[in-house]
Structure 1
Amino acid sequence: MNKLGVHAFVWTEGWTNNDAAKAIGLTAEAGYDLIEASAMDFGAFDVEFTRKVLEQNGLGVTLSFGLDSTQDVSSGDPARVRAGEQRLMDGVALARDIGATHVCGILYSAFQKYSVPPTPEGIKGSVDVVRRVGEKAKESGITLGMEVVNRYESNVLNTAAQAVEFVKRVSLPNVKVHLDCYHMNIEEADVAAAIRDTGNNLGYFHTGDSHRGYLGSGSIDFSKIFRALVAIDYQGPITFESFSSKVVGQPLEGILGIWRNLWEDSRDLATHAKAYTEVQLKSARESIANPGRSRLN
């Protein structure tokens, strides 16, 4: 059974102790299984406090972040590759310390818009780094998720097929593909087919509508998406991600182009997303498990 999660940025823009207590408490109150903490600043995490509040609320946790231009492991520049590898290792250590099961995000390049395509040498260097980091993560039972993002946020992994090839090159059981509805809606010709083709390489999944507002209020066909997830028997986390300028602020507001207030009430947004996800999963499971109900006996 999939564990359902919600991104911390639905609740708060940072991870001070007050932020952590608020985000964790509200996530548990909404009935989720886990919270995805975003680590833009590792130093903001009070590890002991975070673990304590998670335990008090009976909540699981995953961790997500990206690399900046000075840490670009796909750049081919030795100094930046070393800096990126250290950042990734630090992220895995933080995930271990707070009890996270997954580390996801743009872990294979910088989180930025590029003006040139990646080089084969750069991709090889990225694969090598992720393999070393993956070996370290495996020691703590942590899965790494290579998030497939749109062309304006990376030039390395923009499609599920690229990510599958990447994780096969890494060739570690705990390095998986991380798919996201919002990004797939931009880049994939057939989102459901991309999910099915990813198959057992899928290790983490983000829901989010085309405008990053309420699920079902945009242009994405979630029925096809959830049927594809059920068809491949995906059992990993499904985490809802949404951003509004009301919450995130700068610098994320500028990085992601969050110029509009798509929602005002975090509680209502998160509660709706969980209910919507559960209904879609139930419908998808019924459609696949009971196809014979419409047949003539």
Structure 2
Amino acid sequence: MNPDLELDLDLACHINVLVPDVEPRALGAALGTLAELGYRRAVLPPLDPETTDAAELRALFSESGLAPITIAGQAPGADVSSDDPDEAAAGVAMLRAAVDLTVALGGDQMNGVPYGLFSHPTAPVPERRRDRSAAAVGRVADYAHDRGVSMTFEVLNRYETSMVNTAEQAMDFVERSASDHLRIHLDTFHMAVEEADLGAAIRLALPKLAYLELGQSGRGLLGGGAVDLPGVVGRAIDDGYAGRWGVEAFSRRGLIEPVADALAIWRSPFDDGRVLAEDALRVIRRGWSTSVAGRRAQRLSRGATV
């Protein structure tokens, strides 16, 4: 494998790998680090549109050359899946405000959990709430598309939601949404809990898959854990995935305590975010090198140097 061969993949890294929040000075340095390593995008934590200085953050991204990806969600009293009409309407308004913030930041993608509360479920979601959620999220996805933003929804494991846990359920959710613009976000951390075959799940979601996030079983370095991430990368490329890729990891030492608690990050599996971001690139490159496209690029490179 030629380490100098350009890895032509659209890569994003969650900013919490490097910094706990969006304090401008620390964020600017973190964006510079990611740009230096070769990432094209940085995923921001959920932000409050009313208190976020969008102009300041946009300037930091512009200076770094990276593009932002935002995260949208729901909150008590603002839940698109709620049986209460006012609460459901507040959920829609919250998502539309997140789209508007994405535009203000200069972004063209919004990830997140827009379909209901991020929580620890104790029962299945009733079908009426699933239908209501999908229809509302679909309308917001259409609104986002009209504003130049691609909206995705993340498929989470059973301990964080009972709305959408598998690629099959995600495809069903898109169909229920009646939107031509809603896209799927798969995360290998969650897939390792719910999917019997990660490659098959990715193939199933391919028609609507726009963001494939790589996370290890222990939330730490991508190069160490139970998930065969190089295999996931190589197979996904061979199966035709051409969308954006994400890197996500969390360490309690690098998070604000309430965020760490909400994500159930009780340990610190890594101490240095730059080391993790570099390790992730090696893992992705290793997977890419096993794909047909990667092997071809390496053969061409060797021929060009003869």
CA shift digits 1:102-147 (9 cap, x unpaired): 1111111111111121111111111121122112101122111110
1:27 corresponds to 2:34: yes
1:37 and 2:37 matched: no
Q: Could you state the TM-score of these two structures normalised by the residue count of structure 2?
A: 0.89
- Alpha carbons 2:288, 2:294 under 8 Å: kept: no
Alpha-carbon RMSD across the aligned residues, in angstroms, is 1.8
Residue 182 of structure 1: how far off its partner (Å): 0.1
Contact 2:251–2:265 (Cα < 8 Å) also in 1? yes
User: Aligned ranges for residues 66-81 of structure 1 at < 5 Å?
Assistant: 66-81=73-88
Structure 2 stretches lacking a partner, 5+ long: 1-7, 298-306
Q: Which residue of 2 aligns with 1:211?
A: 218
Q: Which amino acid aligns with 1:244?
A: S
Matching residue within 54, 65, 71 for 2:72:
65
Q: In 1, Cα distance between the equivalents of 2:88 and 2:26?
A: 32
Which amino acid is the alignment partner of residue 102 of structure 2? A
For residues 247 and 264 of structure 2, what CA distance do their matches in structure 1 show? 19
Worse-superposed segment, 170-179 or 184-193: 170-179
2:185 corresponds in structure 1 to: 178
Question: Which residue is 2:159 aligned to?
Answer: 152
Q: Work out whether residues 229 and 284 of structure 2, in 8 Å CA contact, stay in contact via their aligned partners in 1.
A: no
Check conservation: 2:111, 2:154, Cα contact below 8 A: yes
Q: Structure 1 residues 146 and 126, CA, compared in 2 at 3 Å: closer, same or farther?
A: same
C-alpha spacing 1:68/1:129, structure 2 compared with 1 (3 Å): same
User: Aligned letter for 1:98?
Assistant: L
Q: 1-side partners of 2:47 and 2:57: how far apart?
A: 16
Match of 1:103 among 99, 110, 130: 110
Aligned position for 2:20: 13
> Partner of 2:256 in structure 1?
249
Cα distance per residue 1:193-224 (max 9 Å; x no partner): 10111122101111110001001200001233
Q: Which amino acid aligns with 1:99?
A: G
Q: CA distance change for structure 1 residues 228 and 47 in 2, over 3 Å: closer, same or farther?
A: same
The separation in 1 between residues aligned to 2:292 and 2:107, in whole angstroms, is 28
Deviation at 1:280, TM superposition (A): 1.1
Following superposition, the deviation at residue 73 of structure 1 comes to 1.4
Segments of structure 1 that go 5 or more residues without pairing to the other structure are 291-297
1:88 partner amino acid: L
Aligned to 1:258: 265
* SS of equivalent to 1:253: helix
> Which one-letter code corresponds to 2:174 in the other structure?
V
Residue pair 2:289, 2:295 contacting (<8 A) in 1 also: no
State the AA in 2 paired with 1:101.
Answer: D
Q: Which amino acid aligns with 1:179?
A: L
Distance 1:163 1:111, change over 3 A: same
- Count of equivalent residues: 290
Q: What is the SS of the residue equivalent to 1:38? A: coil
Q: Is the 8 A contact 1:185 1:191 kept in 2?
A: yes
Within 2, Cα distance between the matches of 1:173 and 1:229? 23
After superposition, the Cα gap between the structure-2 partners of 1:16 and 1:287, relative to the gap in structure 1 and judged at 3 Å, is closer
Whether the 8 Å contact between 1:16 and 1:45 is mirrored in structure 2 is no
Indicate the percent of aligned positions where both proteins have the same amino acid. Answer: 31
Q: Which amino acid aligns with 2:225?
A: G
2:202 to 192, 195, 200: 195
SS of the residue aligned with 2:254? Answer: coil
**1: CA distance, partners of 2:235 / 2:174:** 20
